[in-house]
Amino acid sequence: MATTDKASPRDRLLEAAAELFYRDGVSIGVEALCRSAGVSKRSMYQLFDSKDEMLAASLERRRPWYEAQMIGPAGTVPATPRERIRYVFERTAEASVSPDYRGCPYLAVLVELKDPEHPASAVARAVKDRLQSFFREQAERGGAADPDVLARQLMLVFDGASARAGARIERLDDGLTARTADALMDAAGMN
């Protein structure tokens, strides 16, 4: 774990949760989380009502970083809508070559939990909805015939590629996902 001894127990728990849930899945036990964070179970339950609440908090805490990795901070990514969409797929391809890559953490949570009412599912769904909205906004700006459909298609490619790369079934560093996004944008009449 990459936290320092000076981090608060809450921060250490959230860091450990983010790392362990991503690496090992949401079924990781409370004892393993607390041991990794160097925090007692009693302290954990004083900070969070449940492991579910801690999972949701860890996902929410990572959201700004994740979104910045995908769409980049304003002024640092290409300017055209097509280039901005392509940037998402290029960033995913770059991330996928890391030995620690397990796919999109938010998709993984949705797939593992299967409960749309779970607090972590709500956070994960909101992140996925924001990415789809980003795709839709860029598709509209780029003149796509049907921005809603194109955004959904791009999400299918993104989630499918993330899942397959995370499972080590597919490599993304050959540009296939970006070329697939290009083909979808071309078919939608996007500039």
**Mean of per-residue pLDDT scores for the chain:** 93
68 — pLDDT class (breaks 50, 70, 90)? confident
Q: Is residue 52 part of a domain?
A: no
Q: Is residue 28 part of a domain?
A: no
Q: Is residue 116 part of a domain?
A: yes
> For 93-111, what is the mean pLDDT?
95
Q: Is the pLDDT of residue 71 over 90?
A: no
Q: Is residue 38 part of a domain?
A: no
Model pLDDT, residue 69: 85
CA dihedral 108, 187, 68, 77 (to 10 degrees): 160
Give the domain CATH number at 76: 1.10.357.10
Model pLDDT, residue 73: 65
Q: Is the pLDDT of residue 2 over 50?
A: no
Q: Is residue 88 part of a domain?
A: yes
CB under 8 Å to 154, separation ≥6 — which residues?
85, 132, 135, 139, 181, 184
Residue type, 191: N
Measured CA to CA, the distance from residue 5 to residue 86 in angstroms comes to 40
Q: Is residue 140 part of a domain?
A: yes
Q: Which two tokens stand for residue 83?
A: 């280039």
Model pLDDT, residue 3: 45
Kindly state the helix (H) or strand (E) to which residue 142 belongs, with its residue range. Answer: none
Kindly state the helix (H) or strand (E) to which residue 85 belongs, with its residue range. Answer: helix 81-96
Give how many domains the chain has, as a whole number. 1
Measured CA to CA, the distance from residue 150 to residue 62 in angstroms comes to 27
Q: Is residue 144 part of a domain?
A: yes
The tens digit of pLDDT for each residue in 5-61 reads 578 999 999 999 999 999 999 999 999 999 999 999 999 999 999 999 999 999 999
Model pLDDT, residue 1: 45
Query: What is the residue range of 88's domain?
Result: 59-187
The tens digit of pLDDT for each residue in 134-158 reads 999 999 999 999 999 999 999 999 9
Q: Is residue 46 part of a domain?
A: no
CB under 8 Å to 117, separation ≥6 — which residues?
none
